[in-house]
Structures are given as C-alpha cells and as structure tokens.
A and B are shown apart, each in its own frame.
Chain A
C-alpha cells in the first residue's frame, strides 16, 4: 500500500474562502476527506476504511451534526477494524500531518469569521475591531498560525501534539473574542470542539511511548 501523502502545512487553502459568519468550515466532512486522501492509493483495501488512532480508535464524520443526537458535533467514534489496524505507518504519519494542516485551516477560518463578526458588532459608537484588546487577540491567533505553518513537519508524535495544543489555545482565544456566539454548536465553537476531540484522539502528546 502506498498512501497518498498529504502536505504537512499548506498555506491558505486554495478553495473557496472560508470566511463569513454563515460559512461552515465542515471539519467532520474534511476529516473524512483526509481519511480518503490518505488511503486513496490502496485500491485493494476494503471500502470504508479509516486511519486508526495510536490507541486503535477511529474518528469519522457522522450524518447528524445538530448537537443533540448521535453524531454530536458531526463526529462519531468507533474501534478500528483489523484492516484499519493494519494501515501502515507512512499512511498514519500522512494522516497526522494532514490533521495538523486541517487544524490550521480551521483556525484561519475562525480568524476570518471573527474579523467579519466583530467588524459588524459595535459598542460605544465604534466597531469592536477598533478595540486594542480585540486587535491583540486576533493578532495573537494569527501569529500562532504563521508560526505553525512556517515550521517543518513536527518531529514525532510529541511535537505534533504540542503543535496542536498551540492551535487549540489560539482557537480558544478566538472563541473568547466571539463571546456567546463562540459557544454556538453550529458555528466555530462546535467546529473547534470537534477538532479538539480529533486532537485528543489522534495527536495526544501522551501517545508517544
């Protein structure tokens, strides 16, 4: 099996600009696409396979993402099948790198959403983007993104986990700026929570050793 490599840390996504308050990023769907990309070249493998976590779990998109029924936040989790446990290390590494890129893209999407959302909110006669506290928070999140994308591929699972944790922190910074709207399950809050679950399953720093 020769899995398709997924670029470790791409620049801004080339597809449609993921900005605007009503534009979902679609983390669960993109996670499934990542599974498929990584395993695409293994034509002989059984259909529906996913890449397993180091602890033998599989996280995948669920049909229902309304936050109240099975598939909460658009994700489902199950034990890996024997065929999935046989997915070779290069494919798992490609998946890990792809998940980091996906996380970066989601944080960028959230930065753009925050710019739109906070630019439309006013307080004291000025939009919230004019507030230094808000500007600093957005800048901090953007700086984390710049740094993560500038780095080379993380060396080992610990480094990968640490990179994700920095992105988790950046995402939380953005959600705090969004106030209560950052807590909506059908907005960036729900998507970032799904990403944090994926990080917890696939890229926990304690997975090494």
Chain B
C-alpha cells in the first residue's frame, strides 16, 4: 500500500471482483417486454462504468474522455424527441422504452449499478430538458434540441439558492427590466447546481414579480457575459460536478424566457415543480442501483458470511425489492398523468436512506479497514449520501408524507383521522401528459 492508501485517489484504481450485475430482472420488478429488453440492454451498457467511475471521481472532467462509452450516449436518448435521437448509434426499441418516467427509472438503476457519478456526469438535456419540454414554445424547443444534439453538450438546472435552498416559492434571483427593447437583467446566485461549471447551456429560475406566478425560467448560454460558475468540493458523487453560479447583470432577451406564450400560472413555478417531481423516481432508481451493487459486492467479497450477517444483507435486499416496486409504481403513474407528490417523495427519500444504510452495513460486514481495502466501497460509501439531498431532502419528503397521510391517500385510501386539522391542499397539482420522460 502506498503512503496515501485507499483514501487518496491513486493514479489507477482497480476493483478486485469481476463485474457481474444480475442477469435476471431485479426483485420487485414486473416489467412489460419492452422494459425488460431495456433492462437487459442497460445491464450490458453498464459494463466499463466502474473503471470510468474511478476516473471521474478522481477528476470529474475525465468524462470528456469517456464519451465513447455506449452508456454515455444512450442515457440521454430517451430524453430527446424522436426526431433528434441518434438512431445509428443506439437501437430504437430500448431508446423508446427509456423515454418514459418508468423507463428512465429502469435505466437509471441499471446504469447506476455501474456508476452513478458517470451517469450524472454525462452530457445531455437532463433536468433542463424536462423544463424545456414543460415550458418552451416550438422555437425555443427546436433551438434547444438542435444545440444539445449538434455536439456533446452539458446542461444545468438552476433552482437552488444559497439562502433559500430549493424552496421554489422563495427564490431571490431577480429578473428585472433592462434598458430597452424588452431586454431583462438577471442577478443572483445559485448553489448546489449539477454540472453548471462544465455546462454550455441551462435553465435558471428567477423572480420577475412578487408571488408564486412571478417566477420565470430562462434558458441561458453559459458564455453570456455575467455568468460565472465554479465547482464546489463535494465529498462524493463528484461526477455530478455540483457547482455555484453567480449571475451578475446578465442580459436576457425576451425569447430566452421559457413559456413566454403561456399564462403566468403555467410558467416558472409550474416548470420547477414539474421537473422536481419527475426527477425523483430517477434519483430513487440510482439509489437502488447502488444499493444492489453494494449488496452484490459484499456478498461476492465475503462468500462464507455467517447467517446473522447474511440475514442483515438479505434484509436490505428485501427492502430494495419493495422500494423498486414502489418506484416503478409512481413512475408508471407519472407516465399516466398522475403525480402523487407525497408518494414520489416517499420512495425517493426511502431509497436514498436505504443506499446510505447499505454502505454503512457493507463497511461493517467487510471488516476492519474495509474502507481502505475496498476503494470501490469507499467511493460508493461517499457517493450515496448525495441522493439524500438531490431533488429535495429527506426532511422535506417526510413532511410531504405527513401531508399525504392527513389527506388520506398515502396508504391507499381511507379517511384522514378526525382532528387532524385542515384538509391538506397540495402546493402544486401538476398533471402531465402521458408516456414521455418529459411529457408536456
């Protein structure tokens, strides 16, 4: 062992076991044939992602040298309208199957089994594409997709702010009238925004007027004067390139305001919530992918595990199967236009918590200095903690679950108990069109 040991991101990390993701559909899945084919396809694509993950963990910019990996190109295809997909490089059937929320949850889990950091480091529309799909007019949409498909293009989704977190209703970044010609000026800060320090374009949410309908979403080019983003040093999941954005007198043309053709109630805030709700099943899928990977790694490393230890690991797999079923259920509901906010948040937060518990358990079961002797485990141990705060923290989701309980629908019907106060009114009832990852 070198003097820097397993903590140090040595020049080349090799993982000691053969990469063997489960060939059979994962427990808890009940997928139709196209989704089962997608599941198999993504399993094959995940080959090579662990080595790529070590490189990206060492240097997030390493993703630029990994664009040849099939998974890197594939993951974005389902988020593109059919006319913009690369039908030469990627088979049409799995791409089409991945284009729904359920398809993305399946894709995210299988590819995160390989490496979640690589998945989040990839170029493509990601959450900004969901915002464009939800809000943009035809001209904005065409310009956006031509841009992101003409060359590898990284994008960002700028909602979270230093003082207000992800509270969309309270954001402070301002969009004010400029000198003339309808031009606007953007000022403010965004923090903990994935990929912003590498991105070429992205969406920023900002306030143009008081109140919930005073929020706007603008599509920016990061080369515009007044845009500055810097990478934040994060404990793990470094491929996500979590960044801090400073917006100083950035001039916004009217055509950069997404949804300018829509009424205020169907623009900024609507778009932010639309994206957050739809992003959560994918994060849950990633958390379950790493959970499964850690369980498989632990079992492979310790084949003669005592019964008590094996039982603890099996308990994780039992919970993963149940959560997988729930993730698929809520994602399928989104595809049918039903957005059950408390349940979506519940499965995301529980999957994130399970991933964290699993890495703690693995570090215990693999014995003293396991986080030194198993560099891949040490990386997973760091990475999974990011799922807790991505697309809303566990605390936010627990409160949402409580509201769902009071409302009476969380546990599958029934009446709320007497004396629980006012009926819960959701902060945003968003209905989606059916059948697409970014349905309008």
Contacts and interface: CB of A to CB of B under 8 A. Distances in A.
B195 to A, nearest CB: 14
Given A77-B5, A123-B164, A176-B388, A207 B368 contact: yes
Contacts of B4: 62, 70-71, 76-78
B67 interface: no
Given A78-B2, A78-B3, A200-B363, A180 B167 contact: no
A126 B236 CA distance: 31
Interface residues of A, number: 51
B174 to A, nearest CB: 17
Interface stretch (A12-20, A32-40, A181-189): A181-189
B295 to A, nearest CB: 18
Interface stretch (B42-50, B212-220, B369-377): B369-377
A98 to B, nearest CB: 18
B368 A179 contact: no
B261 interface: no
Nearest to B365: A206
Contacts of B164: 121-123
Contacts of B398: 133
A3 interface: no
A197 B372 contact: yes
B368 A204 contact: yes
A123 B165 contact: yes
B396 to A, nearest CB: 9
A68 B235 CA distance: 10
Contacts of B167: 123-124
Contacts of A185: 233-235
A197 B356 CA distance: 15
Interface stretch (A50-58, A83-91, A100-108, A142-150): A50-58
Nearest to A181: B192
Nearest to B11: A70
B369 A53 contact: yes
A185 B430 CA distance: 36
Contact of A197 (B2, B191, B371): B371
Of the listed residues A62, A121, A204, the one surrounded by the most CB atoms of chain B closer than 10 A to its CB is A204
Given A123-B164, A180-B389, A76 B3 contact: yes
Contacts of B8: 62, 69-72, 76-77
A121 B356 CA distance: 26
B389 A200 contact: no
A168 B10 CA distance: 26
B7 A54 contact: no
Contacts of A196: 371
B59 interface: yes
Interface in B368-415: 368-372, 378, 382, 385-386, 388-389, 393-395, 398-399
Contact of B356 (A53, A79, A172): A172
Contacts of B221: none
A66 B238 CA distance: 13
B165 A200 contact: no
B232 interface: yes
A49 interface: no
A193 interface: yes
Contacts of A190: 233, 235
Contacts of A77: 1, 3-8, 372
A121 B371 contact: no
A206 B165 CA distance: 40
Query: Shortest 3 CB-CB distances between A and B: which pairs?
Result: A77-B5, A204-B368, A180-B192
Given A66-B233, A77-B8, 4 more contacts: A78-B2, A180-B165, A190-B235, A196-B371
5 contacts: A124-B170, A180-B165, A185-B235, A206-B368, A207-B368
